[in-house]
């Protein structure tokens, strides 16, 4: 231990720059891993907390097929009370407008107060001031008036609302005047969803949300919770067709599965930054070993065992990794908060509506950071540490001259690269595992490591071919830079490989995102044909609390400029043995066929197929549904309906990029026949050719009246919105990559510093025979820029291969989308220049150190 | 005292002190020395007597604590780092015990280095290096890297490098110290021949009495001062000690 302090800790203190660069790199790497983990947990947890809170003490729940539980069926289910207390619930997301006109999205629960009391605690501010809970009668009084609403103390305080204040609840396109009749204490449920919770009486909620005769689910609190499995089976056996019983947590699991692919891919990305950080550890320990060969020799001569020497240097790596983990965990927490702000937009837009909050950093997270970073750092340090342990006392004390300026062709590396590329090609042909692109990522990883193995081969190529070019272009500094790089091929290979890996990932992601964006833009251009898009104001793009009212639709349809109106409504429906939540949509096929457009994947004449689906039990499915659930045209798929499972023929498969969950669309009348009538959540409006969409939009909004809230987007703004959401979705991937590149460039700087320190003696000779400081600086900066350019060249080539895997394997396995390959040449050219400049800049510090070596000879 | 047109080296009352306070070491104490163009001077004395330090001061590798050095008529005290570098590059050549060639450059590139650093085009620089290499008998080794040639060849390459830019002064610190007697003798005769052919002044430090005997003049050092002369007081700032 004393020896460790004297030999390693003091040395690190003497040369803090080296240690700091490594710790900084590791910190960033660990931070990214922790951040993505926390952010992923946050987005699922956000939903789960909301779920837990709302579920209260519910043990089981009964749900219908997409459209809730009909009350008439409920009437015949009195037997449920033999198992426990039963409470029907309406559970929606709606918009609440305060007096100042500001709108807020809230979770709105409609409950039967008297039946629901055992399920959830309702602690109202008013009564708690009196030191008691509300009596049933009092609670009933609070909610009985259909205009009553209960908010949370936290929400009310934040927006300056008091009991008795008027608010407007927007449900569908109607805004209802309500009065705040009570405030829930800032504890339990109210607190975890950040106060965004409102209570209504169930009847009022059914009425407001256009759901008379139906409840969203029925919750059951068992008398004997221990028998839950038996009871679940018993209830399932007695339930009428179209209903199913499940645990509340099931919904959380569905959401988790829905997000699994997205999270899996983010996690895989985050590890790249860490891997790049590990290259730094290798570097640092390698420098340590090289610059101290003589000292190691002395230690060995004085009786230090190989094992002790090995331990010293592994210890150095462990200390650095521990520091990186300790700093990286809190940094990751900070990053996660930023990431959640970015991804929650994505997750909310694409998947679920939930309030994502990053859980506080726990000891477990710090421990995990250490558990990931330390073993990996030890693995990274193993090679140089073993080199140190191999130092013989004599060789070290003699100070044997290193550097021959010659290298053999790295045949083993070339073979390894070929093998890894082959493995990548093979892995990319394997199927997904449980919806996750495990082998696809394996293929990507094989290509990445193949690229890393290729680096020494390419460096050797540069060594053999580059001298004349460099010496010709940059004269003596170029010659020296080439000579230095050539002599350090094996030492450089590691950090260049790290840079190549992160640059390849950047190029691949740029190509993927660029291709995806082009594809989506094309798709939007082809399929968004309507002039106006009408949505209700309260919900997100899906899951509006109620649809567009018939009155509103009539008003729109009667506008003289309107030619046709299509309605699209959707419900979430569990599908298949896994119960994956798919989107079941209903639309007006005749309007779509006459005015709109879909891009069909199959059959060739998709329009005829759609026409044939009208009036039949037939559906069109999105590409991602077809890929994930292996459905082809002509197949019959089984969907849950309120009457039990029904088979539907797949008439067509169409391209869609709005959701990776899989969409099944049926004609509106087919939907109504099986699921009952339902107002569409949005309308698409086609105008006469010479109408000005903005004018019509303004006129429609003006005609809607004060009590109505509609969002109407023109074709142009919706297209822009689609691309805006798209860009926000991928912002985080760029952020991750930027971090990986920063770490990699730090690595290059650290390597150059290593080389400079190794070459002190040669630098002194150079200075002696007349090299000016500026010449030395130029030499090192040229080395840095060469490393940058070479890495970028390899990175681009490998990036293109990786992007093919991302687009044609990983994307298809995760999301089931067809993406047209497109090379974003402008971006790639810019990044190439940027990388060359940045790496050259990264060379400035080592260049300064090098230029300060005094002229002379060391003996 | 000899008064030439322009001495290759003129050192007056050189002092070099390392460290300060009680741990201060006076490596050179009041040495004065002048080399005329073409003169060959050997510095001899036991290990630690200050030979290398004296050579470093005279070659512009280090600055004296007190005293002045002028190389080829240029006073080094007035030069900043860049100018000193340029002076070394243009007017001084160096040969050392441990060869000190760059392992990453070929022998030709190593020999041409002072020229290339001075901005001479690569082709011209390498041509002159080839010429120099031929003179020292290394024409067949031009494309070899230092690790692939013998110690004697390395030192001959170092001699060629020291002379390729036609300096006024060559500083040679124990140039044969790491060679066997055959190779050592060969390097010494090369130095003497080139000294005569080119008229370059040579300041050579050695342990070897035989080697010293070949010189025009011998300077004997002991404890940082010229042997047989009383050490002169060291002036460091305002402090004077004896």
Domains detected in chain B:
9-241 (3.40.50.300)
Integer Cα distance of A95 and A543 in angstroms? 12
Q: Which of A483, A770, A854 is opposite residue B86, by nearest beta carbon?
A: A770
Would you state the pLDDT for residue A357? Answer: 63
Residue A8 in 3-state DSSP? helix
CA distance B141 to chain A (A): 15
Tell me whether A479 touches chain B (CB under 8 Å).
yes
| Percentage of the residues of chain A whose pLDDT score is greater than 70 | 86
Residue A618 has pLDDT above 90, yes or no: yes
- Banded model confidence at residue A419, pLDDT cuts 50, 70, 90: very high
* Continuous H helices in chain B: 51-58, 81-91, 107-117, 122-135, 151-163, 181-198, 209-213
Chain B's closest residue to A761, CA to CA, is B100
Band of residue A665 on the pLDDT scale cut at 50, 70, 90: very high
Least trusted range by pLDDT, from A139-148, A376-385, A480-489: A139-148
**pLDDT at residue A497 in the model:** 83
The tokens of A30 are what? 């660990």
- CB contact residues (below 8 A), chain A span 827-856, against chain B: 854-856
SS3 label, residue A819? coil
pLDDT at residue B240, rounded to an integer: 35
- What is the predicted pLDDT for the residue at A347? 45
Highest mean pLDDT out of A615-619, A707-711, A752-756: A615-619
Flag if B104 and A486 touch (Cβ within 8 Å). yes
Whole-angstrom CA distances from A178 to A200, A446, A644, A705 are 10, 61, 38, 18
Q: Which residue among B94, B96, B116 sits closest to A479, beta carbon to beta carbon? A: B116
Q: Which residues of A touch B110 (CB under 8 A)?
A: none
Give the whole-angstrom CA distance, residue A730 versus residue A160. 37
CB contact under 8 A, B122 and A773: no
Q: What pLDDT was estimated at residue A262?
A: 66
- Report residue A52's pLDDT band, with 50, 70 and 90 as the boundaries: low
Touching check for A407 and chain B: CB below 8 Å? Answer: no
**Mean pLDDT computed over every residue of chain B:** 85
Of B81, B94, B122, Cβ closest to residue A773: B81
Structure ipTM = 0.84
A760 in reach of chain B (CB within 8 A) = no
Q: What angle do CA B1, B5, B8 make, to 5 degrees?
A: 80
Residue A798 touches chain B, beta carbons under 8 Å: no
| Residue A651, pLDDT score | 94
**Least confident piece of the model among A87-91, A393-397, A770-774:** A393-397
The CA-to-CA distance between both ends of chain B, in Å, stands at 27
Query: Which positions in chain B touch A769 (Cβ < 8 Å)?
Result: 88-89, 94, 113-114, 117, 161
- The residue with greater pLDDT, B135 or A736, is B135
A796 touches chain B (CB under 8 A): no
Q: Give the closest residue to B146 by CA, choosing from A651, A673, A401.
A: A401
Instruction: Report how far residue B175's alpha carbon sits from residue B180's, in angstroms, rounded to the nearest whole number.
Output: 11
**pLDDT for B95 beyond 70:** yes
Q: What is the mean pLDDT of residues A678-697?
A: 90
Contact A601, A626 (CB under 8 A): yes
pLDDT at position A57, please? 67
Q: What's the pLDDT score for residue B67?
A: 92
How far apart are the C-alpha atoms of A292 and A318, rounded to whole Å? 19
Give the closest residue to A734 by CA, choosing from A181, A338, A209, A291. Answer: A338
Question: How far is the C-alpha of A819 from the C-alpha of A812, rounded, in Å?
Answer: 9
Whole-number pLDDT of residue B71:
92
Question: Distances from the Cα of B223 to the Cαs of A858, B25, B43, B230, in angstroms?
Answer: 22, 10, 13, 11
pLDDT tens-digit map of A249-275? 777 676 666 667 666 766 776 776 677
From chain A, the residues in CB contact with B146 under 8 A are 405
* Among chain A residues, CA nearest to B126: A476
For chain A, the straight-line distance linking the first and the last C-alpha, in angstroms and rounded, comes to: 32
The predicted pLDDT at position A399 comes to 47
Q: What DSSP string runs through A229-297?
A: HHHHHHHHHHSPTTEEEE-THHHHHHHHHHHHHHHHHHHHHHHHHHHHHHHHHHHHHHHHHHHTHHHHH
The residue with greater pLDDT, A546 or B166, is: B166
Residues 6 or more apart in contact with residue B134 via CB below 8 angstroms: none
Contacts of A459 in chain B (CB under 8 A): none
Closest Cα partner for B207 from B40, B42, B44? Answer: B44
pLDDT for residue B130 is more than 90: yes
CB contact under 8 A, B117 and A405: no
Q: What SS3 class is residue A219?
A: strand
| Residue A305, pLDDT above cutoff 90 | no
Euclidean distance between CA atoms B169 and B167, whole angstroms = 5
Residue B241 bridge partners (DSSP): B234
Of chain B residues 127-166, which have a CB less than 8 A from chain A?
Answer: 145-148, 161
Size of interface A-B (CB pairs under 8 A): 102
Mean pLDDT over B154-175 rounds to 91
Interface contact flag, B116 A475, Cβ < 8 Å = yes
- The percentage of residues in chain A with a pLDDT greater than 90, rounded to a whole number, is 12
Asked if B113 and B105 count as a contact pair (C-beta separation under 8 A), the reply is: yes
What pLDDT was estimated at residue B233? 44
Cross-chain Cβ contact A769/B113 below 8 Å: yes
Per-residue pLDDT band for A97 (boundaries 50, 70, 90) equals confident
Say whether B161 and A769 touch across the interface (CB within 8 A): yes
Q: What is the pLDDT of residue A687?
A: 93
Query: What value does the mean pLDDT of chain A take?
Result: 81
Residue of A770, A852, A855 for testing the chain B interface, max B β-carbons within 10 Å: A770
- The answer to whether A487 contacts chain B (CB < 8 Å) is yes
Residue whose C-alpha is closest to residue A664's, from A571, A756, A737: A571
- Condensed to tens digits (0 to 9), the pLDDT of residues A737-768 reads 677 777 778 777 877 887 887 788 888 888 88
pLDDT in tens, A439-474: 888 898 898 889 888 888 888 888 888 888 888 788
The yes-or-no verdict on residue A285 having pLDDT over 60 is yes
């Amino acid at each position: 231990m004393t020896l460790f302090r004297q030999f390693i800790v003091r040395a690190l203190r003497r040369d803090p720059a080296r240690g700091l660069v490594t710790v900084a790199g590791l910190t960033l790497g660990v931070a990214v891993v922790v951040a993505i983990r926390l952010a992923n947990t946050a987005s699922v947890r956000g939903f789960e907390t909301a779920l837990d809170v709302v579920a209260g003490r519910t043990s089981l729940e009964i749900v219908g097929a997409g459209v809730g539980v009909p009350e008439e069926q409920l009437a015949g289910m009195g037997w449920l009370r033999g198992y426990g207390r039963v409470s029907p619930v309406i559970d929606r997301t709606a918009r609440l407008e305060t007096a100042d006109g500001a709108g807020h999205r809230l979770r709105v629960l409609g409950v039967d107060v008297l039946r629901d009391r055992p399920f959830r605690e309702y602690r109202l501010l008013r009564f708690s001031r009196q030191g008691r809970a509300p009596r049933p009668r009092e609670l009933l009084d609070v909610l009985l008036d259909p205009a009553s609403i209960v908010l949370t103390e936290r929400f009310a305080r934040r927006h300056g609302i008091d009991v008795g204040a008027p608010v407007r609840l927007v449900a569908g396109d109607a805004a209802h005047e309500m009065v705040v009749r009570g405030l829930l204490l800032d504890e339990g449920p109210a607190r975890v969803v950040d106060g965004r919770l409102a209570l209504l009486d169930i009847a009022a909620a059914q009425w407001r949300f256009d759901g008379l005769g139906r409840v969203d689910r029925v919750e059951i609190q068992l008398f004997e919770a221990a028998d839950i499995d038996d009871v679940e089976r018993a209830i399932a056996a007695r339930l009428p067709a179209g209903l199913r019983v499940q645990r509340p947590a099931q919904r959380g699991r569905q959401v988790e599965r829905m997000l699994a692919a997205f999270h899996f891919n983010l996690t895989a990305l985050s590890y790249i930054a860490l891997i790049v950080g590990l290259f730094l550890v290798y570097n640092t320990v390698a420098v340590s070993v090289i610059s101290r060969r003589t000292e190691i020799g002395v230690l060995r001569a004085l009786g230090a065992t190989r094992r002790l020497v090995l331990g010293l240097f592994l210890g150095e790596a462990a200390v650095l990794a521990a520091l990186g983990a300790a700093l990286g965990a809190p940094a990751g927490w900070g990053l996660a908060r930023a990431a959640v702000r970015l991804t929650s937009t994505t997750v909310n837009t694409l998947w679920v509506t939930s309030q994502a909050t990053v859980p506080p950093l726990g000891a477990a997270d710090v421990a995990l950071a250490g558990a990931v970073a330390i073993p990996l750092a030890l693995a990274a340090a193993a090679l140089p540490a073993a080199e140190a342990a191999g130092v013989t006392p004599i060789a070290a004390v003699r100070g044997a001259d290193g550097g021959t300026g010659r290298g053999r062709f790295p045949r083993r590396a070339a073979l390894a690269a070929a093998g890894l590329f082959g493995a990548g090609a093979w892995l990319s042909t394997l199927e997904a595992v449980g919806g996750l692109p495990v082998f696809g990522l394996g293929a990507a990883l094989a290509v990445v490591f193949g690229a890393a193995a290729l680096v020494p081969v390419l460096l050797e190529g540069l060594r053999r071919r580059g001298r004349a070019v460099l010496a010709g272009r940059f004269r003596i500094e170029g010659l020296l830079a080439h000579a230095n790089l050539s002599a350090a091929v094996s030492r450089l290979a590691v950090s260049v490989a790290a840079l190549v890996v992160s640059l390849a990932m950047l190029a691949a992601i740029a190509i993927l995102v660029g291709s995806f964006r082009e594809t989506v833009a094309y798709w939007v251009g082809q399929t968004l044909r309507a002039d106006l898009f009408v949505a209700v104001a309260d919900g997100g793009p899906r899951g509006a609390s109620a649809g567009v009212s018939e009155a509103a639709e009539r008003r729109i349809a009667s506008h003289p400029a309107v030619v046709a109106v299509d309605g699209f409504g959707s419900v979430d429906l569990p599908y298949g043995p896994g119960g994956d939540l798919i989107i079941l949509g209903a639309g007006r096929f005749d309007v779509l066929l006459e005015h709109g457009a879909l891009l069909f994947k199959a059959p060739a004449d998709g329009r005829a197929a759609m026409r044939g689906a009208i009036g039949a039990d037939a559906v069109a499915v999105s590409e991602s549904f077809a890929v994930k659930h292996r459905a082809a045209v002509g197949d019959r798929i089984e969907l849950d309906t309120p009457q039990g499972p029904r088979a539907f023929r797949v008439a067509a498969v169409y391209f869609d990029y709005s959701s990776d969950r899989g969409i099944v669309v049926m004609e509106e009348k087919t939907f109504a026949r099986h699921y009952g009538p339902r107002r569409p959540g949005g309308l698409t409006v086609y105008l006469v050719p010479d109408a000005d969409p903005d004018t019509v939009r303004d006129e429609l909004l003006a005609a809607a009246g004060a009590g109505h809230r509609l969002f109407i987007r023109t074709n142009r703004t919706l297209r822009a919105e689609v691309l805006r959401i798209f860009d926000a979705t991928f912002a985080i991937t760029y952020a991750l990559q930027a971090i990986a590149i920063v770490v990699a460039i730090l690595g290059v700087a650290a390597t150059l510093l290593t080389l400079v320190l190794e070459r002190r003696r040669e630098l002194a000779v150079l200075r002696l025979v007349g090299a000016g400081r500026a010449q030395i600086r130029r030499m090192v900066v040229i080395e840095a820029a060469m490393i940058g350019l070479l890495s970028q060249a390899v990175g681009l080539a490998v990036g293109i291969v990786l992007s093919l895997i991302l687009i044609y394997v990983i994307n298809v396995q995760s999301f089931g989308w067809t993406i047209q390959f497109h090379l974003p040449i402008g971006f790639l050219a810019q990044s190439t220049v940027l990388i060359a400049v940045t790496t050259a800049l990264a060379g400035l510090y080592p260049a300064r150190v090098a230029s300060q070596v005094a002229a002379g000879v060391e003996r | 005292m000899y008064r030439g047109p322009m001495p290759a080296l003129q050192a007056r009352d050189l002092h070099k002190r390392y460290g300060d306070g009680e741990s201060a070491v006076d490596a050179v104490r009041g040495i004065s020395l002048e080399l005329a163009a073409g003169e060959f001077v050997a510095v001899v004395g036991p290990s630690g007597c200050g030979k290398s330090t004296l050579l470093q001061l005279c070659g512009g590798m280090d600055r004296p604590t007190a005293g002045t050095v002028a190389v080829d008529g240029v006073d080094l005290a007035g030069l900043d780092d860049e100018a000193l570098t340029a002076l070394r590059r243009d007017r001084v050549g160096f040969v050392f015990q441990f060869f000190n060639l760059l392992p990453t450059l070929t022998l030709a590139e190593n020999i041409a280095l002072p020229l290339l650093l001075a901005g001479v085009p690569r082709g011209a620089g390498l041509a002159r290096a080839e010429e120099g290499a031929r003179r020292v008998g290394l024409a067949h080794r031009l494309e070899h890297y230092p690790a692939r040639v013998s110690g004697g060849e390395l030192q001959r390459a170092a001699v060629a490098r020291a002379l390729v830019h036609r300096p006024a002064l060559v500083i040679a610190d124990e140039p044969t110290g790491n060679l066997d007697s055959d190779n050592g003798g060969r390097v010494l005769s090369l130095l003497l021949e080139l000294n005569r052919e080119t008229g370059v002044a040579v300041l050579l430090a050695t342990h070897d009495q035989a080697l010293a005997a070949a010189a025009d003049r011998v300077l004997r050092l002991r404890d940082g001062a010229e042997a047989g002369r009383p050490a002169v007081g060291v002036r460091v700032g305002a402090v004077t000690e004896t």
